[in-house]
Amino acid sequence: MIGMFDRFKATALLVLLAGYLIFNYAFMQLRIPPASFGVPLGELFLAIVLLTTDLPRVLSRMGATVFLLPFMVWWIWGTIRLVFDIAHEGFWSLRDATQLMESLFLVAGFTLAGQPDMLTRTARWLRNIILVACPYGLLFGYADDIAAISPTIPGASGQPVPIVPNFASTGTIMLWGAFFFLMSRDRRSVVRTRNGLIAGFLVAFTLLVIQARTTYPQLLVLAGLMLMVRPRSLKGLGSAIPVLLTLLAVISAFNLQIAGRLTSHISLSFFWEHLQSIFGVGADGHGGLASAAEGVDLRMGWWMRIYDQMTADPVKLITGLGFGIPLTDFRDSLGVVTREPHNSIISVTARMGLIGIFVWAWMQLELFRATFRAFRDCRRNGLTEAADLLLLILAFAVLTLASCMGEDTMEKPYNAIPYYAFWGVALRIAYELRVEAARARAARADPHPTGIPHPSPS
């Protein structure tokens, strides 16, 4: 019975990951009961896993793969900060502590990845998620039309939220999909060509239609990862350039209008102006780009305001401004205040101070260190399936972190939950590798563990 329950939890985790990665914002609204005060599915699932897990044992095993100190300081200090702020600021403190709470999916992922065949199931599910999410993302340009006929669910504030389409993380998923196809081990010429064209199209689509500035740093870190783990695949990533140029030529030749996020007028000058908008340089002739450029100054103002607030008080600099308070003074046309400054690193610093950002950065370094080491061990031992799964996790991680510089990525559960759950799976692989290595060493040290030597051949 316990085994069936554990398998159910493992399957539920995979379903949650699929929901967050494909339907993101709408899936995040699912609660029990389905009212404004309901508990979101992700947090409810996390509570069940933690309450049915031998936490000291799990943490001890995790400690065999990473240095646990930064993780424990992160959770303990964050909890103390959160409890204090709930008493003073109320419900909003829980909302602002999203990343702190979702980081516990690291424990959930590690625990459930230990179920029999779970790693194989996870690799298969991720493959299917990518194969569904990428075609789904191609509907990006028709979002308004689909939303008009889509069923809705009530949001946390009672607002109607269309079930489909939701494309909040489509850019990241498209680039993740491109990485997936480029990492294929099928070396047949036809398959390599097909995968290269698919990857090139996904990258080109992300640049042409989704038109997010975070795409450029994401492509850089993805190329850096490929250079480190499989340099030959960089050639495949370069296939995006001829695909992009071909699409631009077709668009120009037929004067086509692309239903992009910022503008429908696409040309080479668009990309130059889009890159300039990262630095706050305006773009004449492209209203969306001009608006994006103006947003840079707005965000810089938010960040400087946080800096002034923290440096005015040494205690706040060390311990943070806390949860439950908005980090900006900006209000939209409906009067709703923007709570996060569109930079997850600054959010961590502002909420939890120098203590928080120091241990958070240390955590990320530990996770990358352990996963790269596990990848190297898998490759050395011929464990190709595990190695490929670790590569997918690493790619998702670098893409997510790259978007943190200009977005409140980690303050959204549909990003933070998969991010930390995947790291938990990676640590489980690292742990199992260490266990197998220890068994092999023990076997070499004592070839007759029963104490009874095998008879020598006569």
Higher pLDDT, 253 or 397: 397
Closest to 104 in 3D by CA, of 439, 401, 420, 441: 420
- CA atoms of 94 and 109, how far apart (whole Å): 22
- CA atoms of 413 and 80, how far apart (whole Å): 21
pLDDT band, residue 458 (cuts 50/70/90): very low
Higher pLDDT, 260 or 423: 423
Q: Count Cα atoms within 13 angstroms, Cβ side, for 328.
A: 21
Closest to 275 in 3D by CA, of 264, 27, 286: 286
Mean pLDDT of 430-452: 78
Highest mean pLDDT among 289-303, 359-373, 441-455: 359-373
pTM above 0.75, yes or no: yes
Tens digits of residue pLDDT in 307-361: 999 999 999 999 999 999 999 988 876 677 889 999 999 999 999 999 999 999 9
Question: Is 80 exceeded by the pLDDT of residue 263?
Answer: no
**Choice among 20-34, 42-56, 227-241, 304-318 with the minimum mean pLDDT:** 227-241
- CA atoms of 94 and 338, how far apart (whole Å): 16
pLDDT band, residue 277 (cuts 50/70/90): confident
Question: Is 60 exceeded by the pLDDT of residue 284?
Answer: no
Q: Average pLDDT of the chain? A: 88
Mean pLDDT of 101-111: 97
pLDDT band, residue 455 (cuts 50/70/90): very low
- Sketch the domain layout of the chain as residue ranges: 2-165+287-439
**Residue 366 is which amino acid?**
E
Task: Please tell me the predicted confidence (pLDDT) of residue 63.
Answer: 96
Task: Please tell me the predicted confidence (pLDDT) of residue 289.
Answer: 65
Question: Is 50 exceeded by the pLDDT of residue 454?
Answer: no
Task: Please tell me the predicted confidence (pLDDT) of residue 264.
Answer: 66
